Amino acid sequence: MIVMKFGGTSLGDPAAIRKCAEIVERHLSKKPLVVVSAHSKVTDMLLDAARAAVKGDVDGPFERIRKRHHDILDGLGLPSDTIEKNMKELHDLLRGISMVKEVTPRTLDYAASFGERMSSKAFAAYMRKRGIENAEAINAYDLGLVTDSRFTNARPLAESYERIPKAFEPHRHKLVILTGFIAKDKNGDITTIGRSGSDYTAAIFGAALGAEEIQVWKDVLGILTADPTIVPAARPIERMSFAEASELAYYGAEVLHPSTIIPAVKAGIPIRVLHTFDPEAPGTIICDRCEPNGAHPVKSIVYKEDQILVNITSTRMLMAEGFMAKIFNVLERHRIVIDMISTSEVSVSLTTDSEEGLDAACEEMREFATVDVEKGKAIFAVVGEGMRNTIGMAAKTFSAVAEAGVNIRMISQGASEINIAFLVDNKDIPATVRSLHRKFFGI
Ligand code: ASP
Ligand code: MG
């Protein structure tokens, strides 16, 4: 079997949904399990509706959500009662929120869940209409996906991997259309696994069911050599390793939800990123063994903007014993997630994007250090397995940045040697991307 995941834009309107249906039909012999996101924009609409309900504004946002869905059903020639039960439940929920005048993360997840619950019903009904009578929408939590109770960003529990195959068994002969993004915790409350989490759902089910391949259908040609809005000549990377893909996801490539790779690596299942609107294009395959990119040791250039640089200098001349431990202790207590770090004899520099809690953490560290914070930075990473065996990659990287007239604030190279990461100002992003792409890809 294979897993085929379709994103929000791929399910954004009736014409797009028709394309997805044709793609599924072409893969029927491989016994696909289909995972769907909500129709594009719907998750945001639902979250906004929940927040508006706190202020007593229920019917306006609700009607907009209803219209968005009914327009799609109409366009597919499906009756609006396909999702009527969900609509009623959503309306009740919004009214409930307006009565208690409060919205908790738990309620937000409940509200957001309607997006995938309804899109899966619409897609299954449409597949049945096209003659695939055994198409059936099933919620991921009814097929064994259990998470912890960290609402809005819940983590799947390991037991899911045992429950899923058992729960799926009676449905093996069907075309299952599964909800991405949503799950339940052990109390039976609905959770979500983080924005854009449907990729992750696809990987979890792929791993749990031993799929041959996890296909992620999107509105891009694959994983690209650079951000195409800055380098229009950026091109899709045909093959990449799990390690390369993990580095890219970590450093901000938005093509895959960062956790997606983990279950796939563990189970050794290739992930293929494909284009719904150009389904014959090769896309990108991420797999276990992946030869370097021939002439190009670098596979891709990625960046993550709006990072915060924190410089911590010991107030004594030399770093006192336990200085590092103290720093990490404070950061951990305030749940500050660190991306890059570099140290010298008297100072530690690190980057994070966690704004929440940062002020409090800095205040605490000021008891034993001088701390300054600079916002508006961008982390860049140049990634490729081929870099490990190629001399002069750092020189090439930094000369490209220097040629762009850009100042580097911090540098780090992971022990795996498949990436070089550094920090610049947000405003220098375009010049840096262009210069690196020219240096490594000649365009
Ligand atoms: N619908 C969810 C979101 O918009 C999950 C997803 O699209 O993967 O974040
Ligand atoms: Mg999405």
For residue 405, how far is its CA from the centre of ligand 2 (angstroms)? 36
Residues 336 and 241 in one domain: no
Tell me which of 9, 114, 152, 198 to substitute to probe ligand 1's pocket, judged by most ligand atoms within 8 Å of the beta carbon: 198
First and final CA of the chain: distance in angstroms?
A: 40
Phi-psi region of 210 (alpha: psi -120 to 50; beta: other; left: phi over 0): left
- Residue-wise pLDDT for 21-36, tens only, equals 999 999 999 999 999 9
The pLDDT > 70 percentage for the chain reads 97
Q: Tokens 């604030």, residue?
A: 409
Residues 118 and 218 in one domain: yes
Closest residue by CA, ligand 1 atom 8: 196
Atom of ligand 1 nearest to the CA of 115: 1
Ligand nearest to the CA of 109: 1
Domain-terminating residue out of 266, 287, 308: 287
Virtual torsion, Cα 414, 420, 422, 426, nearest 10 deg: -120
- Residue-wise pLDDT for 52-81, tens only, equals 999 999 999 999 999 999 999 999 999 999
Q: Is the CB of 115 under 6 A from ligand 1?
A: yes
Q: Is the CB of 12 under 6 A from ligand 1?
A: no
Inter-residue contact 378 to 410 (CB < 8 Å): no
User: Is residue 294 in a domain?
Assistant: no
pLDDT of residue 294: 63
Distance CA 226, CA 439 (A): 12
Closest residue by CA, ligand 1 atom 7: 196
Distance CA 41, CA 49 (A): 12
- Residue-wise pLDDT for 122-148, tens only, equals 999 999 999 999 999 999 999 999 999
Ligand nearest to the CA of 9: 2
Q: In this structure, what DSSP letter does residue 37 have?
A: P
Q: Which ranges in 238-290 belong to alpha helices (H)?
A: 242-250, 261-267
Residues 315 and 282 in one domain: no
Per-residue pLDDT band at 292 (split at 50, 70, 90): low
Ligand nearest to the CA of 254: 2
Atom of ligand 1 nearest to the CA of 199: 8
Closest CA to 6 of 166, 127, 172: 127
- In single-letter form, the type of residue at position 267 comes to A
User: Is residue 139 in a domain?
Assistant: yes
* SS3 label, residue 207: helix
Q: Tokens 């499906």, residue?
A: 78
- Residue-wise pLDDT for 191-229, tens only, equals 999 999 999 999 999 999 999 999 999 999 999 999 999
Distance CA 70, CA 439 (A): 50
Q: Find residue 378's DSSP bridge partners.
A: 424
Domain-terminating residue out of 287, 309, 328: 287
pLDDT of residue 323: 85
Residues 279 and 420 in one domain: no
Distance CA 365, CA 387 (A): 37
For residue 9, how far is its CA from the centre of ligand 2 (angstroms)? 7
Closest residue by CA, ligand 1 atom 2: 196
Residue 295 pLDDT > 70: no
CATH number at residue 362: 3.30.2130.10
Q: Is the CB of 147 under 6 A from ligand 1?
A: no
Which phi and psi angles does 384 have, rounded to 5°?
175, 135
User: Is residue 346 in a domain?
Assistant: yes
* SS3 label, residue 370: strand
Task: Say which residue, 296 or 299, is predicted with more confidence.
Answer: 299
Q: Where are the beta strands (DSSP E) in 254-328?
A: 271-275, 284-287, 300-314
pLDDT of residue 258: 80
Distances (CA, A) of 117 to 99, 210, 288: 24, 25, 33
Atom of ligand 1 nearest to the CA of 195: 9
CATH number at residue 171: 3.40.1160.10
Ligand nearest to the CA of 41: 1
pLDDT of residue 430: 98
- For 255, counting Cβ atoms within 10 Å of its Cβ (0-12 exposed, 13-18 middle, 19+ buried), the class is buried
Ligand nearest to the CA of 259: 1
For residue 235, how far is its CA from the centre of ligand 2 (angstroms)? 22
Residues 322 and 233 in one domain: no
pLDDT averaged over every residue in the chain: 94
Closest CA to 123 of 41, 19, 45: 19
Residues 336 and 262 in one domain: no
Domain-terminating residue out of 253, 287, 321: 287
- Domain limits for position 343: 300-441
Residues 47 and 158 in one domain: yes
User: Is residue 295 in a domain?
Assistant: no
Residues 325 and 266 in one domain: no
User: Is residue 358 in a domain?
Assistant: yes
Q: Is the CB of 43 under 6 A from ligand 1?
A: yes
Neighbours of ion ligand 2 (CB under 5 A): 8, 37, 196
Closest CA to 209 of 162, 146, 250: 162
Q: Is the CB of 201 under 6 A from ligand 1?
A: no
Q: Is the CB of 258 under 6 A from ligand 1?
A: no
- For 287, counting Cβ atoms within 10 Å of its Cβ (0-12 exposed, 13-18 middle, 19+ buried), the class is middle
Closest residue by CA, ligand 1 atom 5: 196
Q: What is the mean pLDDT of residues 159-180?
A: 98
Residues 57 and 177 in one domain: yes
How many structural domains compose the chain? Answer: 2
Q: What is the pTM of this model?
A: 0.89
Residues 146 and 232 in one domain: yes
Residues 374 and 255 in one domain: no
User: Is residue 196 in a domain?
Assistant: yes
pLDDT of residue 9: 96
Q: Is the CB of 61 under 6 A from ligand 1?
A: no
Residue 317 pLDDT > 60: no
pLDDT of residue 413: 80
User: Is residue 170 in a domain?
Assistant: yes
Q: DSSP string spanning 285-347?
A: EEESS---BTTBS--EEEEEEEEEEEEEEESSSSPPTTHHHHHHHHHHHTTPPEEEEEE-SSE
Distances (CA, A) of 418 to 147, 290, 385: 32, 13, 5
Phi-psi region of 155 (alpha: psi -120 to 50; beta: other; left: phi over 0): beta
Residues 360 and 254 in one domain: no
For residue 40, how far is its CA from the centre of ligand 1 (angstroms)? 8
Inter-residue contact 317 to 302 (CB < 8 Å): no
Stated length of the chain: 443
- In single-letter form, the type of residue at position 397 comes to T
Per-residue pLDDT band at 169 (split at 50, 70, 90): very high
User: Is residue 292 in a domain?
Assistant: no
